[in-house]
Amino acid sequence: MKISIFKIIFLNLLLLSSLYSSTFEEDIKALDTKSFNEKESIVSNLATNYSEDDRLVLLLTKMLDGDLYIKNDDKDVLVLVKKEANSLFTKSLISGKDLESLEESSLEKVKTNNKLRSVIKSLLAQIDLFSLNIDKRLSSAKNILQNVSKDEEEIINKALSKEKNSDVKEILFEAKYIIEAKYYTGETQLNAVKNLGSFISSNSLATLKEISQSNESSEELKKVANSSLADVENIRTFYSFLETAFFGLSQGSVLLLAAIGLAITFGVMKVINMAHGELIMIGAYTTYTIQQLMPNLIEYSIIIAIPVAFIVSALVGILIERLVIRHLYGRPLETLLATFGISLILQQVVRTIFSPLNQEVKTPSWMSGALEINSALSLTYNRLYIVIFALVVFLAVLFVMKKTSLGLKVRAVSQNRPIARAMGIKSSYIDAITFGIGSGIAGVAGVALSQLTNVGPNLGQAYIVDSFMVVVFGGVGNLWGTLIAAFSLGEINKFIEPFAGAVLAKVIILVFIILFIQKKPRGLFPQKGRDVEE
């Protein structure tokens, strides 16, 4: 008896499943019509009856993209997978099977117009709005807010009654208040306008501006709208300040990476290395080369490139020091001219090997996108990672210089070269290693810059002057001075740019540093030692 009952239940379930599938099949076949009004009615019914069916989302998405077809002979509903010449590779939306290449003439595209596309977008948003997935609901709420209309009021209220997530509810409430502010009158409109003062999105801002400037708005409504508008603008100004500060921090981290190697070589060896920018460029091209050699490991390419770029740039730096610079110690003018010539040679070598055109370095997915704090403030991941990376590099260099035997010898040579030699330190060896470390850090800076700007032969030229300004401002050879100077100049530059422009901002900073040096010739944190005045 029990077995019979189970059989009956099982057969009923199969029957229901069969009926459901065939009903869905018949409904979507009805899309084979020329009437856009009929299509609108069909997709609305599909959304009502099959909201939990994954095929519905695929159908609506493909229809929206113009990739939905109906086969002429058996009226099978197909979605486009890929297109080659006049052949289409499709997948049956009903059976789920991949079909072989079909001639385009054997298929009829399900066409849409602007009104139908608008309906489909709204339906997709509604389907996701009641999804069990929070990310889908959040994305759907944002889409509704971007194109909010009176027609969506009912679905917004329904979603608000069920929604538990605070982020989704906040967006839906904003959409609700925008509708009430635009389409209602009296106390409801006044309360909605007042409530919009606590939201900072551009949608609320635009709505409040529209109401405050409308001739149809009453004086009381305009007064409330202006008050809310002032609240929104004050909050947005604050977040704009934070965003500018973050951009300044980001630029400061780039300056720190570019200048920290120069601070070591210039501080220890007193060498004005005009090829420092080209060592940064070599690091960037090393990153590009690694991505070309390992196209399937883009996600790890930046991590792999960091040590490789350090080694390559360090070896080039040591080669420059051994072949050229060591013969010119004590002759700063000749050293400057020689390193300038080396910079031109390195640029030409890169042009010969990689071409004079800029090369694209791909950004890994984990560095793409942005951390969205709210609608007025978002922090891009690539800049956020570079800020952290710059601080890690700084701490690593600081550890080497302060806590290791090599660092002790470097500081000894920097502070008093004759006494260091008398103590048995090989200053020529320290010079080569120091120049190599400084050059290697420049290469690491190139890895970071490859994620922010185009990689080309002139990449380093944009940072050589800024690097020298950071080193001079912070104090020659002082790492803490370099850190403070880099972030200070980065912040100052970003806060001046909106008012003066990028070029004039650099001029103002240069004038400031020149005046500062007149007062403190050795920078913020001057180096200490017996022969430092030399």
Measured CA to CA, the distance from residue 284 to residue 480 in angstroms comes to 26
Residue 472 has pLDDT above 50, yes or no: yes
Q: What pLDDT sits at residue 407?
A: 83
Q: What pLDDT sits at residue 3?
A: 47
Measured CA to CA, the distance from residue 197 to residue 182 in angstroms comes to 15
- Residues 463 and 493: beta-carbon distance below 8 Å: no
- For the chain, the average pLDDT equals 83
Q: What pLDDT sits at residue 528?
A: 62
Q: What pLDDT sits at residue 316?
A: 94
- Residues 43 and 37: beta-carbon distance below 8 Å: no
Q: What pLDDT sits at residue 86?
A: 67
Which residues, 6 or more positions from 437, have their beta carbon under 8 angstroms from its beta carbon?
261, 264, 314, 397, 400
Question: 483: buried, middle or exposed (CB in 10 Å: 19+, 13-18, 0-12)?
Answer: buried
Most confident of 143-157, 162-176, 218-232, 380-394: 380-394
Measured CA to CA, the distance from residue 391 to residue 410 in angstroms comes to 21
Q: What type of residue is 431?
A: D
Residue 261 has pLDDT above 80, yes or no: yes
Q: What pLDDT sits at residue 527?
A: 65
Measured CA to CA, the distance from residue 138 to residue 128 in angstroms comes to 9
| Residue 107 β-bridge partners | 71
Q: What pLDDT sits at residue 79?
A: 73
Q: Report helix, strand or coil for 90.
A: strand
Which residues, 6 or more positions from 312, have their beta carbon under 8 angstroms from its beta carbon?
282, 283, 286, 443
253-262, 386-395, 417-426, 433-442: range with lowest mean pLDDT: 417-426
Name the DSSP letter for residue 356. Answer: S
Q: What pLDDT sits at residue 388?
A: 93
Q: Report helix, strand or coil for 21.
A: helix
How would residue 206 be classed by pLDDT, with cut points 50, 70 and 90? Answer: confident
Average pLDDT score over residue span 253-261: 89
CA angle 356, 358, 363 (to 5 degrees): 150
pLDDT, tens digit, 9 for 90 and up, residues 434-454: 889 989 999 999 999 998 888
Residue 306 has pLDDT above 90, yes or no: yes
The whole-model pTM stands at 0.74
Instruction: Tell me what percent of the chain is helix, strand and coil, each rounded to the nearest 5.
Output: 70, 5, 20
Is the backbone of residue 283 left (phi > 0), alpha (psi -120 to 50) or beta? alpha
65-74, 79-88, 456-465, 500-509: range with lowest mean pLDDT: 79-88
- Residues 204 and 232: beta-carbon distance below 8 Å: yes
How would residue 18 be classed by pLDDT, with cut points 50, 70 and 90? Answer: very low
Measured CA to CA, the distance from residue 232 to residue 222 in angstroms comes to 15
Place of tokens 């608008």: 118
Q: What pLDDT sits at residue 533?
A: 45
For 287-314, the three-class secondary structure string (H helix, E strand, C coil) is: HHHHHHHCHHHHHHHHHHHHHHHHHHHH
Measured CA to CA, the distance from residue 296 to residue 386 in angstroms comes to 23
Query: In the chain, pLDDT over 90 holds for what percent of residues?
Result: 19
How would residue 16 be classed by pLDDT, with cut points 50, 70 and 90? Answer: very low
CA 489 to chain centre: 23
Half-sphere exposure of 302 (CA within 13 A, CB side): 21
